């Protein structure tokens, strides 16, 4: 269990399909360290739910009636009162303009709707821990998208970083967890977390997902 017994990870579900919401809730509530605290059928309801319940993680569908998941994500991440709420997008698409827009809006991770239940639970835990998670196929498509961009469009901010921080940023861009980065670089978890903290501060990034964007834009992946 990644969370203390008296404080499970609080999850909200935003999707316009009642059957899917209920199925996800059953899976999530079946884990001892997770609990569903609310459901929403639209982006507007998702934002209201975030303000009312302040969940740790919101599972967000992108294409919903009225206010869509992208705008809901943008509102949530822009609200200082909701700084502790992280958005994990569930999508049927490996990559399209909706996914890229959601990433720019502040989503912390992306998981395909056909993922295994265990992958969903682990994604929630990692998202709550600040370790943004991207489905492997989405990572590949993101890389392809940013590699095709003209060099002039890249964000040049690497002069702010040390050599080790740049190395860590590249591994974050590959979707590695803190444990995996520590093993790859043969350093401690504490040191990895220090580097991540420095990267967030130097690159003015809200969370790890924005570090992934920076890694792609600077062609570190």
pLDDT: which is higher, 153 or 180: 180
- The pLDDT, as a whole number, for residue 163 is 93
Global pTM reads: 0.70
Q: Rounded to an integer, what is the distance from CA 85 to the centroid of its chain?
A: 11
Average pLDDT over residues 178-182: 91
DSSP state at residue 8: P
Going by pLDDT thresholds of 50, 70 and 90, the confidence category of residue 92 is: confident
pLDDT digits over 12-66, tens only?
Answer: 999 999 999 999 999 999 999 999 999 999 999 999 999 999 999 999 998 898 8
pLDDT digits over 99-146, tens only?
Answer: 778 877 888 888 888 889 998 998 899 888 877 666 555 665 665 555
- The pLDDT, as a whole number, for residue 33 is 96
pLDDT: which is higher, 145 or 87: 87
Question: What is the C-alpha to C-alpha distance for residues 59 and 86, in angstroms, rounded to an integer?
Answer: 9
- The pLDDT, as a whole number, for residue 113 is 85
Name the token pair of 15. 């999707």
Dihedral, CA of residue 58, residue 61, residue 213 and residue 167, to nearest 10 = 60
Average pLDDT along the chain = 84
* Strand bridging mode 57-61 / 34-40: unpaired
**Cβ burial, residue 50 (10 Å; 0-12/13-18/19+):** buried
Res 162 pLDDT > 70: yes
- The pLDDT, as a whole number, for residue 153 is 41
The total number of residues written for the chain in this structure: 221
In the chain the domains, ranked by start, together with CATH numbers, are 9-141 (3.40.50.2300), 151-217 (1.10.10.10)
Q: Rounded to an integer, what is the distance from CA 49 to the centroid of its chain?
A: 19
């Amino acid at each position: 269990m990644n969370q203390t017994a008296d404080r499970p990870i609080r999850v909200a579900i935003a999707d316009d399909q009642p059957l899917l919401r209920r199925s996800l809730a059953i899976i999530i509530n079946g884990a001892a360290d997770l609990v569903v605290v609310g459901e929403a059928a639209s982006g507007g309801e998702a934002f209201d739910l975030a303000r009312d319940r302040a969940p740790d993680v919101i599972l967000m569908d992108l294409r919903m009636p009225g206010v869509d998941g992208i705008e809901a994500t943008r509102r949530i991440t822009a609200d200082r009162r909701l700084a502790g709420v992280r958005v994990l997008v569930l999508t049927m698409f490996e990559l399209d303009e909706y996914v890229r827009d959601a990433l720019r809006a502040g989503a912390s991770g992306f998981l395909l709707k056909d993922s295994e239940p265990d992958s969903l639970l682990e994604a929630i835990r990692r998202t709550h821990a600040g370790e943004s998670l991207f489905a492997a196929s989405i990572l590949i498509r993101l890389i392809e998208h940013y590699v095709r961009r003209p060099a002039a469009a890249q964000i040049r901010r690497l002069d702010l970083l040390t050599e080790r921080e740049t190395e860590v940023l590249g591994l974050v861009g590959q979707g590695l967890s803190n444990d995996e980065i520590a093993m790859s670089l043969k350093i401690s978890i504490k040191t990895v977390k220090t580097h991540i903290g420095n990267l967030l501060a130097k690159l003015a990034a809200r969370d790890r997902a924005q570090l992934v964007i920076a890694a792609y834009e600077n062609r570190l992946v």
